[in-house]
């Protein structure tokens, strides 16, 4: 058994069943081992940003890590933007990077790069396997680390893969998440009893139906408010589930959302800050006279903390208002109408990937009446997470995926469409084609100038228009254009009924 | 004048005339300054790998750096693979990365990342501007560094761009390259006079018509051999120019190419090593009894060193055999016939971008009889340099560009086609569509196994076939498929006559 074989056996023993792969020469022994040893579904991605983005949303839908298979430092580099998103969303990924043989690295061959150096800023765990007999143990540690919700980067020099002497690693226990301090629960209870304006800010794993019911009971009992973070890895939403709004992206609206709050209680959430700084505007979003309390820190068990807090304050049974399911909208194409049609048509228990950027930003509040669904955002703000994420979510969930996708950001990872076609994934992609970087035109207006020709050359996506139907068909995905809400409704409903991927280019 | 305006004025004063841009919110003041101050051609790229790949080959064709405009750490991350290639090719790039405001960075907003940490492995110069009045000076230093042939990464926090008090930086002198040691010239002359088998290994800036004539004179006078490195940033080639072969990529052929050599004389070249390690095969390519001499180190002036060496040994006028221009090939599609047709049809003074990977690997030796041209490879081996490079080469050279592009690697940066269309660049793209990762299938065979279903799932690009004609048309590039040499010849000749880009999908 060589190192690569010990790696595959270890991954299987540790519960890894999926590898999102973009292999190269230095990974051929790993590929051969995956071929010889059944048990892992290998999904080819045409570039590495698809592999890492897919692994991110596989975790968020499956709750278990997938592995990647990347090629040397530059292959890792291509994956970093979506690994950044995964890190911000606290996804677990076993990030496997093949590399030069240990004895070849000092020769500085062309592809040699600082693989560890590039990995470290996104990884909670990094190791380069140095001998074949260490690979299995290293892989078991990597999986254990990934299962806590971090990126575990295992660098696999080619000789550690091909050398005999591999030893299968023993699956390691995953420690439970630490519980919140009792004093934090006391403090939050005291704040809520004080009657001063308070807000629960929820993030991390608290945005589930069950936990939102607890949080809703708390706020209904105490008169506090609740919000979710600006970007969230995973929200259980839809009809019958407790609706929750998010801190808005736009800086003035974000500040406004916390106005008058005297106590901000964080539950697996970070102190809320502006996505960017703006001249003369606040960076920290909470009022100056507001005290920030932490009920449960990022790594702690916020669900248990909320449960304890609810008991402490004697919260009752929450009343969950049921938002009616709307009919598909037939008016002009606009954010509200598109969101309304999504709410009307979305199948039960589906997964929505939201990289709608500017046009899609307000979809959330029009979709509380949709059938129950998961809503996944791009929590790190690195563009291009949507389409790769749809690949991973479709494989991870086995459910229908709706990818709400801005046109500009679609182009950072458009080759994800090919993997959707190859694996015949049930993904409906709705491209919001406004043919510009609308978010940047809005920001440019804030700078206080009308864009001239040079600026427009950098903000406008026309000249030529991108034809997403042709792009999709070029990668084997059936597609059609919608220029009206009627057409969008018809195409979306039909796509939800068929097997496999379908792309709708919506002219907004 | 704010910091962004001082940056634009400084770039213009220092001779920067082109920015390959993929902006975001934190760069809006820089975009506004580029808009207000005329003098820089801003080229929008749909993702950052296109921007960095274009800047790389702009340098190689123009001999001056272009700037990039990237967005925060994740935007830089997307650019790293082609920056790796640029580093290996010793290209000069002023790599400008907008980032969070200095006072916002500690708040750890979602897009905040280790921008400096990711930049450092590819950059010869890295600096984060910390105040508006420093930006101009920092930019002048960045340009000076880039002009020596390195990547100079200037990180521009948003507040240093928008704050008033900018000061235009003074262009700084670029030091001449250091000359080689006199003792190195003495030693090389002695070796060549000894009559023992010797080989000049040429790299860097020595692969020009003029310098190859000097090298040819030396080897014709002394009986030594000469070769170019395996991958080269820039080779002047074609009819009437001294032909030179390269060290082959394939490991056994590479070792064979240096067999029997007793003295290896490096001229702006590194000691040659295998691109990868293989079990039981050599990493260092030269024979064990061969002595390695350095005539001119990587950073030294190899051209002057060769001139001095030629004088020292009394080299005469070289005889340059003129390879006849072939007729277009009409036989079956094969590497030789495709290369022969390229040699027949290539316009005078054009630029060839070679990311032909496996099918295109042998094109070099069939194209010595082509009209004089520049031949640019992907020297770092990071996949996806070809199409972005074609953008940069077309803008840098103002000449016809032929991009010889493998299909698998095309998909890492396919959005470069859109920029070709937007700028109406004279680029002919020939996609070598074998619909597989042929290089990896070959490597897999070396592992000693027939690929099973799982391996083929990671090595085969069919299911579905990628339709490059549709992809090109989807991004505004006219395109056609060629299934015969006659059709290839017809399409290639026609593309060379028309303005703007054209893509040919060659079914190999």
Which pLDDT value is given to residue B393?
98
Q: Does A26 touch chain B (CB under 8 A)?
A: yes
Scanning the structure block, which residue is given the tokens 């290839």? B488
Please, which pLDDT band fits residue B2 given cuts at 50, 70 and 90? very high
Calculate mean pLDDT across residues A425-435. Answer: 97
Q: Is the pLDDT of residue B339 over 90?
A: yes
Give whole-number Cα distances, A66 to A118, A263, B207, in Å: 20, 39, 47
Q: In this predicted model, what pLDDT tens digit does every residue of A217-252 receive, in sequence order? A: 999 999 999 999 999 999 999 999 999 999 999 999
Radius of gyration, CA atoms only, chain A: 24
What is the set of domains in chain B, with CATH numbers?
3-162 (3.40.50.970), 182-313 (3.40.50.1220), 335-507 (3.40.50.970)
- Within 8 A by CB and 6+ apart from B59, the residues are B65, B66, B86, B91, B92, B93, B149, B392, B396
Is residue A322 a contact partner of residue A240, using CB atoms and an 8 Å limit?
A: yes
Which tokens go with B46? 């749909």
Q: Which of A45, A88, A91 is nearest to A68 (CA)?
A: A45
| Alpha-carbon gap, residue B55 to B149, rounded angstroms | 12
Scanning the structure block, which residue is given the tokens 């521009």? B156
281-320 of B, contacting A, C-beta below 8 A: 283-284
Is residue A282 a contact partner of residue B118, using CB atoms and an 8 Å limit?
A: no
Q: In this predicted model, what pLDDT tens digit does every residue of A154-180 receive, in sequence order? A: 999 999 999 999 999 999 999 999 999
Q: Does A447 touch chain B (CB under 8 A)?
A: yes
Q: In this predicted model, what pLDDT tens digit does every residue of B271-310 receive, in sequence order? A: 999 999 999 999 999 999 999 999 999 999 999 999 999 9
Calculate mean pLDDT across residues A52-69. Answer: 98
Give whole-number Cα distances, B479 to A123, B467, B471, in Å: 42, 11, 9
Q: What is the mean pLDDT of chain A?
A: 97
ipTM of the complex: 0.98
Q: Do B111 and A276 touch (CB under 8 A)?
A: yes
Q: Is the pLDDT of residue A326 over 90?
A: yes
Q: In this predicted model, what pLDDT tens digit does every residue of B188-197 receive, in sequence order? A: 999 999 999 9
Q: Is the pLDDT of residue B403 over 80?
A: yes
Per CB-CB distance under 8 Å, the chain B contacts of A110 are 88, 230-231, 275, 379-381
Q: Does B147 touch chain A (CB under 8 A)?
A: no
How buried is residue B167: exposed, middle or buried, by Cβ count under 10 Å (0-12/13-18/19+)? middle
| HSE toward the beta carbon, residue A122, CA cutoff 13 A | 37
| Alpha-carbon gap, residue A406 to A386, rounded angstroms | 9
- Residues of chain A with pLDDT > 70, as a percent, come to 100
Q: Is the pLDDT of residue A449 over 90?
A: no
Pick among A67, A74, A416 to test the B interface (most B CBs inside 10 A): A74
**Lowest mean per-residue pLDDT among A443-447, B3-7, B119-123, B367-371:** A443-447
| Alpha-carbon gap, residue A74 to A430, rounded angstroms | 31
Per CB-CB distance under 8 Å, the chain A contacts of B158 are 276-277
| Alpha-carbon gap, residue B327 to B278, rounded angstroms | 40
| HSE toward the beta carbon, residue A95, CA cutoff 13 A | 42
- Within 8 A by CB and 6+ apart from B10, the residues are B135, B136, B139, B140, B143, B168, B169
Q: Do B440 and A28 touch (CB under 8 A)?
A: yes
Q: Is the pLDDT of residue A448 over 90?
A: no
Q: In this predicted model, what pLDDT tens digit does every residue of A183-229 receive, in sequence order? A: 999 999 999 999 999 999 999 999 999 999 999 999 999 999 999 99
Give whole-number Cα distances, A304 to A183, A188, A204, B75, in Å: 14, 14, 13, 38
Q: In this predicted model, what pLDDT tens digit does every residue of B125-181 receive, in sequence order? A: 999 999 999 999 999 999 999 999 999 999 999 999 999 999 999 999 999 999 999
Per CB-CB distance under 8 Å, the chain A contacts of B104 are 273-274, 276-277, 283
Q: In this predicted model, what pLDDT tens digit does every residue of B308-336 receive, in sequence order? A: 999 999 999 999 999 999 999 999 999 99
Q: Is the pLDDT of residue A26 over 80?
A: yes
Q: Which of A235, A214, A192 is nearest to A363 (CA)?
A: A235
Per CB-CB distance under 8 Å, the chain A contacts of B446 are 28
Helical ranges in A120-267 per DSSP H: 132-147, 158-162, 182-194, 209-222, 251-257
How buried is residue A51: exposed, middle or buried, by Cβ count under 10 Å (0-12/13-18/19+)? buried
B293: enclosing H helix or E strand: strand B291-296
Is residue A462 a contact partner of residue A435, using CB atoms and an 8 Å limit?
A: yes
479-498 of A, contacting B, C-beta below 8 A: none
Please, which pLDDT band fits residue A446 given cuts at 50, 70 and 90? confident
Which pLDDT value is given to residue A463?
93
Pick among A18, A23, A38, A81 to test the B interface (most B CBs inside 10 A): A81
Q: Is the pLDDT of residue B448 over 90?
A: no
A128: enclosing H helix or E strand: strand A125-128
Give whole-number Cα distances, A372 to A238, A346, B27, in Å: 4, 9, 39
Q: Is the pLDDT of residue B450 over 90?
A: no
Q: What are phi and psi of A267, to 5 degrees?
A: -130, 105
Q: In this predicted model, what pLDDT tens digit does every residue of A10-24 receive, in sequence order? A: 999 999 999 999 999
Is residue B270 a contact partner of residue A108, using CB atoms and an 8 Å limit?
A: yes
Q: Which of B397, B286, B308, B461 is nearest to B62 (CA)?
A: B397
Which tokens go with A327? 């009919």
Pairing of strands A373-376, A235-237: antiparallel
Per CB-CB distance under 8 Å, the chain A contacts of B40 are 454
- Within 8 A by CB and 6+ apart from A177, the residues are A148, A299, A300, A301
Pick among B21, B35, B36, B100 to test the A interface (most A CBs inside 10 A): B35
Q: Both ends of chain A: CA-CA distance in Å?
A: 57
Q: In this predicted model, what pLDDT tens digit does every residue of A328-376 receive, in sequence order? A: 999 999 999 999 999 999 999 999 999 999 999 999 999 999 999 999 9
Which tokens go with A400? 């229908």
Nearest to B110 among A88, A120, A408 (CB): A88
Which pLDDT value is given to residue A447?
81
Q: Which of A304, A461, A24 is nearest to B44 (CA)?
A: A461
Burial letters B339-356, b for 16+ CB under 10 A, else e: bbbbbbbbbeebbbbbbb
Q: What is the mean pLDDT of chain B?
A: 97
Please, which pLDDT band fits residue B447 given cuts at 50, 70 and 90? confident
A87: enclosing H helix or E strand: helix A72-88
Which tokens go with A72? 């040397």
- Residues facing A375 on adjacent strands: A235, A352
């Amino acid at each position: 058994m060589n190192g690569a074989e010990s790696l595959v056996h270890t991954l299987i023993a540790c519960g890894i069943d999926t590898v999102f792969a973009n292999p190269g020469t230095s990974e051929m022994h790993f590929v051969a081992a995956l071929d010889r040893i059944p048990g892992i579904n290998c999904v080819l991605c045409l570039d590495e940003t698809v592999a890492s983005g897919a692994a991110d949303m596989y975790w968020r839908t499956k709750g278990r890590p997938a592995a990647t298979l990347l090629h040397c430092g530059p292959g890792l580099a291509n994956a970093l933007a979506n690994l950044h998103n995964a890190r911000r969303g606290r996804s677990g990924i076993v990030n496997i990077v093949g590399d030069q043989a240990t004895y070849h690295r000092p020769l500085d061959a062309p592809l040699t790069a600082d693989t560890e150096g590039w990995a470290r800023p996104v990884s909670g765990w990094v190791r380069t396997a140095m001998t074949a007999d260490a690979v299995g143990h290293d892989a078991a540690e990597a999986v254990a680390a990934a299962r806590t919700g971090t990126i575990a980067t295992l660098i696999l020099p080619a000789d550690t893969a091909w050398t005999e002497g591999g030893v299968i690693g023993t699956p390691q226990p995953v420690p439970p998440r630490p519980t919140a301090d009792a004093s934090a629960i006391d403090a939050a209870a005291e704040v809520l009893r004080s009657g001063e304006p308070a807000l629960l800010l929820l993030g991390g794993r608290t945005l589930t139906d069950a936990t939102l019911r607890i949080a809703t009971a708390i706020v209904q009992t105490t008169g506090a408010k609740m919000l979710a973070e600006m970007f969230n890895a995973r929200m259980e939403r839809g009809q019958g589930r407790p609706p929750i709004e998010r801190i808005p992206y736009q800086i003035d609206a974000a500040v406004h959302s916390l106005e008058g709050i005297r106590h901000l209680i964080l539950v697996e959430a970070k102190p809320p800050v502006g996505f960017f700084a703006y001249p003369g505007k606040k960076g920290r979003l909470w009022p100056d006279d507001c005290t920030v309390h932490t009920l449960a820190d990022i790594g702690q068990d916020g669900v248990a903390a909320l449960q304890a807090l609810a008991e402490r304050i004697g919260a009752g049974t929450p009343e969950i208002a049921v938002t009616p399911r709307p009919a598909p909208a037939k008016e002009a194409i606009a954010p509200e109408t598109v969101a309304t049609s999504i709410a009307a048509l979305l199948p039960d228990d589906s997964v929505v990937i939201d990289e709608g950027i500017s046009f899609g930003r307000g979809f959330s509040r029009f979709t509380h009446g949709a059938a129950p669904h998961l809503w996944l955002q791009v929590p790190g703000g690195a563009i291009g997470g949507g389409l790769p994420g749809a690949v991973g979510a479709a494989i991870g969930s086995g459910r229908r995926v709706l990818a709400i996708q801005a046109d500009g950001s679609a182009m950072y990872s458009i080759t994800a469409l090919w993997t959707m076609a190859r694996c015949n994934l049930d993904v409906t992609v709705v491209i919001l084609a406004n043919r510009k970087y609308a978010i940047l035109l809005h920001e440019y207006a804030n700078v206080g100038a009308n864009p001239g020709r040079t600026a427009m050359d950098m903000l406008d996506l026309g000249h030529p228009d991108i034809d997403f139907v042709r792009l999709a068909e070029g990668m084997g995905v059936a597609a059609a254009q919608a220029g009206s809400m009627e057409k969008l409704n018809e195409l979306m409903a039909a796509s939800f009924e068929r097997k496999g991927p379908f792309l709708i280019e919506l002219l907004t």
